[in-house]
Structure 1
């Protein structure tokens, strides 16, 4: 079975006029549930691939057998990871349960992609210093903030001005993974730089207001409850984009947050220049934050709260540095 790209176009005439409207309905249901725009793109992409892989048939004419075959093909032929396969399954279950109102029986025959337990890639303190020294501007500040707070990339980019509490030296992470809020540490070395960012946002926001714009996108139904809140400084993104763009959800022109791709590219360039051959991403900085805290003697429950993990078992993946493992054993050859 072929597995086309999630961005491949769907021919309206080939599968009927209802299919494009189906994807529109998927988007509408996702927005009703206040899922992020990124989740919307992922779900629509998997549903599109599912339709194309089944000869552009309407999902209502298919069921558990086709879903099983698609997911099995991803694991057997596509060689995808377990998390990718689960992502596809979640998208298809959303389609059938929330959009088509069809309840699929338990998918017994799906060949599951293997879950591998892997130790996270972690940079040493020296490597962190070398990488940050080779970065500049906003990418350096963002990378420093990720390492200094343990935030996820999108949690960092979605920070609003009001979320940084300079008086209490903490950052409030709103609507993190699982829809939970939490607090994390504000590194003292970044206070001055973040104050400059707030001032930069203030000037940028004033210019936008003068041009008839300046209304930030508010989460959930806050825009209806507080109609003028979106124009307040506190709701503006702490790291705004350089230029305004049109929001695909409501068509309004507004200033969104900094592009995550720019940070990822700057990080890769810095790692290459620093001679680091480990696989490094923005999430590696979060792994390094947790590992270095535990190395310094921080309580694992404290680290769990700072990372926003639901279960301490998730945080325990970093305890390999406490037990030292192979790194804490002196080889007989060295004796």
Structure 2
């Protein structure tokens, strides 16, 4: 797993990171004509939604000696034409603190390209975000204790729009609360189907179920909420349940119900390491499984990450976000110690 630190302007940060990758042998992959056409149909939507990320892509393109058209089309096409990530996520408010857990499940041979980035762009929220791609995020926690993460859901057809990478990144950089994040997703023109789980330090949490044609907010009936790879009120076709989405959802529900009021990082780690109920996924037949796991206390910004399957890999504390916040606001030292 890479651990980049991105700071400064969007353009210069994108360019600098691409230059590092290029120097270490990265060459931008060939983009098909189909994806180039799709990217062209989406670029205006991207510019209107987030002009800052356009600058970042322009910088990255220059740094890796590729074209803006190729890089943007590659990013915009992810999840539209091929198999995407699966994943399990939960949030629990134990009465005092918000605890979140997230397992990222994907093709096992992509483990080496996963990233955990500390992002400190000028004029934006600081955050730690995770991804399997050089621009955009699949989850993250920002300096205000706002968490957002996605799971993929099957969709039909191809419609111009934006994928989850851009939504998660934008929310982390610009929002402080669940309500603000939900408002962003209300106007988000999605090209794929996802669950977005959002949680903040106040105890607020929600799952936004999105498709290219619909939008629904699911709120918790108790003091916890979770999602896997289907929408709660829509039956899941058996051809998609190869990743054990129903089983993982059911296992999470049982464990969260039993432990919600006493939830802490240790319990969260044990839940995400669960193999019997497939929360920690290992499907060798499909070359598919959990690539990394993250648990966090949003109120204290404590982040623990296992880089690999959490039933085997050790959870390690990530103090980068706390250090970045304290560097700018040293008066908060007592809060995070």
Shared fold by TM > 0.5? no
- In terms of fraction of residues, the more helix-rich structure is 1
Using the size of structure 1 for normalisation, the TM-score is 0.23
Whichever of the two has the greater Rg, that structure is 1
Relative contact order higher in (CA < 8 Å, ≥ 6 apart): 2
